[in-house]
A and B are shown apart, each in its own frame.
Chain A
Amino acid sequence: KDTKENGGSTGEGDGYDEALRKSLFEGKEGAKVLALQSKAPAPPPGYTSSSLRVMYSQARQSTVAKRSFRHIAQTPERILDAPNLVDDFYLNLVDWNSQNVLAVALGTAVYLWNASTGDIEQLMETSSEGDYVTSVSWVTDGMYLAVGTNLAETQVWDVSRLKQVRSMRGHSSRIGCMSWNEHILTTGSRDSKIFHHDVRIASHHIATLEGHEQEVCGLRWSPDGTQLASGGNDNLLNIWDARGTTPRFTLDHHSAAVKALAWCPWQGHLLASGGGTADRTLKFWNTTTGALLNSIDTKSQVCGIVWNPHDKEVLTSHGFSQNQLSLWKYPSLVKMADLTGHTSRVLHLALSPDGTTVVSAAGDETLRFWKVFAESSHRRKERTRMPHGMDIR
């Protein structure tokens, strides 16, 4: 009986090696192909996976509940150009500090935009060929900015002096996410490891956390500094105790990369996490017990999460196909609004120090400022190009 997988000739240009394939996938001489005579039950009539269809569906449709909520400004207060913002899910390129300064990594450089004055400064630029900035993170008081790079360097910058004060190495691949806990800077890398660095001492590398098998792309210390949440391309969410080097909980409910992580500011040990393309869910965890509290299908890749510090609400940012920000009531998870306008996926979110405004950064190379967490006075629609210094090429 002929058992060649001869139907499998590939399309043109697949550059694939016939001999190799034969050796791997062709049955041995004289195999029988057998099947059970009774067949698997048929799916329900007319059933086609609508949950999957939404993943490919590009037409936009709104599913916001028809209920009256507080007034939510639907348009951004401000749009800034962000040329060369790298369109890569796994990076974390925007952070806002307590001094109202927004740090944004655009390609090889980091810029500081003072939201109070509108002033722009270039903080740094990578110097090596092939290097670019893959993450930024402010220390709590906003005096120092950590910068992670594609060539696996972790830098700490004194912002008042525009001067680099530390260079820390050790990872073998890019640093896509970072989070501070006082003087401890925690870094997550494509090498799947998490490092704790004590930035005060010369031998800064004080611990290695090995709980992921692929790139670490989400990292957040809890507000009280007792727990660290990490998410990876291995679909895992790990919860670590401050001193632990093995995860306290390994939460495996997401079925895609976990990048979006946010600790609730008004309830201890409540964590929100979001999953990537194959998952699309927003989940809530009690990190004391490891219990999954709630989960909802957002219908698209979750890239960012921010809690409303004033109210029981959470804002998420999404990828294909609507590229929207969605505001959810917590814990009912009723959707209050979709904020649209970005024309590519909304990769990063950061909250202003006064807790009223969220900045979103997207693959369309714009930053948009949404005053979503306060009763807005009057809506301003303003479109500002970043002045000259912002264009890096």
Chain B
Amino acid sequence: MEELATFEPSKENILPLRGGRKPSLLALSLRDGDDSSVHHDTMADFEKRVENCDEEDDPLEPWIEYVQWTKQTFSDEVSRDQKLLPLLERAIDRFHQVEMVRNDVRFVQICLDYADFWEDPTIWFSFLASRKIGESIASFYIAYAVILEDRNCFQAADKVFQKGLEKMAHPIKKLRNAASEFEARLATTKNSGSDRIDVDVFGTRRPFTTIPKAKRGERTS
């Protein structure tokens, strides 16, 4: 079992992850830094697997494992940008038109992770909605609604919950809980009237559009 005492001296260098951090990988990452050479072999293995993913019964699986490992291993923001972002983009490019994965909770999670890189994630969510990606997945609606609520777009958030409930997104219990917590919060805030910003919540699919890419601040390296 890992000791907290090994992380504590570097606690300010740990980038929080919404899903939490695996202790063993955290210990490794704090010890070796994000020195890619240490992880070179692991990455090469993953690269080989994702390249040949069509040969696997479940082509998505190697991508999922690669993404999860990358999330846990590269803890600072620069390597997150350099390692995780392009990997998510590759996975999305590879799978977004594959009918079968649109409502695969693992692929939807990749799309939700990608939303974190957006200055304005509503653009990305609206794109996903227009492609019916995550249409029957509860976590899609919950993540989307959280973003909207953070921006004080309460009506839009409500619309998102309603759509998810109507689609009976899975697991429905989780969505219902999140929706009722949202309602409870709404009842206690003084908010009234319409949203400050108008969000095209469910997007419209237009011909010849390209997949939007997250824009982050300019980099020098």
- Residues in chain A within 8 A of chain B (CB atoms): 10-11, 13-17, 20-21, 44-48, 53, 55-61, 79, 81, 83, 87-90, 190, 214-215, 233, 256-257, 259, 276-278, 301, 320, 323, 340-345, 363-366, 385
Contact, CB under 8 Å: A340 / B185: no
Given A276-B11, A320-B77, 17 extra CB contacts under 8 A:
A45-B181, A46-B180, A46-B182, A46-B188, A47-B184, A53-B146, A56-B18, A57-B150, A59-B115, A59-B147, A89-B13, A215-B9, A233-B8, A301-B12, A341-B218, A342-B217, A344-B77
A16 to B27, CA, bound (A): 13
Contact, CB under 8 Å: B77 / A20: no
Contact, CB under 8 Å: B118 / A59: yes
Contact, CB under 8 Å: A343 / B77: yes
Known contacts A343-B81, A344-B76, A364-B219: A90-B12 contact under CB 8 Å: yes
30 A-B residue pairings within 8 Å (CB atoms): A14-B23, A14-B24, A16-B1, A44-B188, A45-B181, A46-B183, A46-B187, A48-B181, A53-B146, A58-B116, A58-B117, A59-B121, A59-B147, A59-B150, A83-B221, A87-B78, A89-B12, A190-B9, A214-B8, A233-B8, A233-B11, A257-B11, A257-B12, A259-B12, A276-B12, A277-B11, A342-B217, A343-B216, A343-B218, A344-B81
Known contacts A59-B118, A323-B77: A341-B217 contact under CB 8 Å: yes
In the assembled complex, which residues on chain B have CB atoms less than 8 Å from the CB atom of A365?
Answer: 78, 220-221
A57 to B18, CA, bound (A): 8
A64 to B70, CA, bound (A): 34
Q: Does B199 contact A (CB under 8 A)?
A: no
A344 to B180, CA, bound (A): 36
A166 to B150, CA, bound (A): 54
Nearest A residue to B1 via CB reads A16
* Interface SS, A side: loop
Q: Which interface class (under 10, 10 to 19, 20 to 34, 35 or more) fits B?
A: 35 or more
In the assembled complex, which residues on chain B have CB atoms less than 8 Å from the CB atom of A233?
Answer: 8-9, 11-12
Contact, CB under 8 Å: A363 / B77: yes
In-complex Cβ contact of B78 among A10, A90, A344 (8 A): A344
* Interface SS, B side: helix
Contact, CB under 8 Å: A55 / B16: yes
A316 to B10, CA, bound (A): 22
Q: Does B47 contact A (CB under 8 A)?
A: no
In the assembled complex, which residues on chain A have CB atoms less than 8 Å from the CB atom of B121?
Answer: 59
Contact, CB under 8 Å: B151 / A61: yes
Contact, CB under 8 Å: B23 / A277: no
In-complex Cβ contact of A340 among B2, B181, B217 (8 A): B217
In the assembled complex, which residues on chain A have CB atoms less than 8 Å from the CB atom of B187?
Answer: 46
- Which residue, of B17, B22, B77, B78, has the highest number of chain A Cβ atoms within 10 A? B77
A48 to B22, CA, bound (A): 23
Q: Does B45 contact A (CB under 8 A)?
A: no
Q: Does B15 contact A (CB under 8 A)?
A: yes
Contact, CB under 8 Å: A21 / B1: yes
Nearest Cβ in chain A — how far from B35, in angstroms?
A: 12
Nearest Cβ in chain B — how far from A274, in angstroms?
A: 11
A257 to B181, CA, bound (A): 34
Contact, CB under 8 Å: B78 / A343: yes
In-complex Cβ contact of B15 among A11, A44, A190, A320 (8 A): A320
Q: Does B119 contact A (CB under 8 A)?
A: yes
- Which residue, of B15, B120, B184, B188, has the highest number of chain A Cβ atoms within 10 A? B15
A53 to B146, CA, bound (A): 10
Nearest Cβ in chain B — how far from A338, in angstroms?
A: 13
Nearest Cβ in chain B — how far from A351, in angstroms?
A: 23
Contact, CB under 8 Å: B12 / A56: no
Nearest A residue to B188 via CB reads A46
Contact, CB under 8 Å: A15 / B220: no
Contact, CB under 8 Å: B22 / A11: yes
Contact, CB under 8 Å: B220 / A214: no
In the assembled complex, which residues on chain B have CB atoms less than 8 Å from the CB atom of A343?
Answer: 77-78, 81, 216-219
Known contacts A13-B24, A14-B22, A81-B220: A56-B11 contact under CB 8 Å: no
In-complex Cβ contact of A88 among B13, B24, B116, B118 (8 A): B13
Nearest Cβ in chain A — how far from B139, in angstroms?
A: 15
A59 to B115, CA, bound (A): 8
Contact, CB under 8 Å: B16 / A320: yes
Nearest Cβ in chain B — how far from A61, in angstroms?
A: 6
Contact, CB under 8 Å: A46 / B16: no
Nearest B residue to A59 via CB reads B121
In the assembled complex, which residues on chain A have CB atoms less than 8 Å from the CB atom of B151?
Answer: 61
In-complex Cβ contact of A56 among B16, B77, B119 (8 A): B16
Contact, CB under 8 Å: A366 / B17: no
Nearest B residue to A58 via CB reads B116
Q: Does B53 contact A (CB under 8 A)?
A: no
A59 to B150, CA, bound (A): 9
Q: Does B172 contact A (CB under 8 A)?
A: no
Contact, CB under 8 Å: A364 / B183: no
Contact, CB under 8 Å: A256 / B12: yes
Nearest Cβ in chain A — how far from B140, in angstroms?
A: 15
In-complex Cβ contact of B181 among A10, A13, A46, A344 (8 A): A46
In the assembled complex, which residues on chain A have CB atoms less than 8 Å from the CB atom of B8?
Answer: 214, 233
Known contacts A46-B184, A233-B9, A343-B219: A61-B16 contact under CB 8 Å: no
A180 to B15, CA, bound (A): 32
Nearest Cβ in chain B — how far from A77, in angstroms?
A: 16
Nearest Cβ in chain A — how far from B25, in angstroms?
A: 8
In the assembled complex, which residues on chain B have CB atoms less than 8 Å from the CB atom of A11?
Answer: 22, 24
In the assembled complex, which residues on chain A have CB atoms less than 8 Å from the CB atom of B92?
Answer: none
Nearest Cβ in chain B — how far from A14, in angstroms?
A: 5
What 5 A-B pairs have minimum CB-CB distances, sorted nearest first?
A46-B184, A89-B12, A58-B116, A45-B184, A46-B185
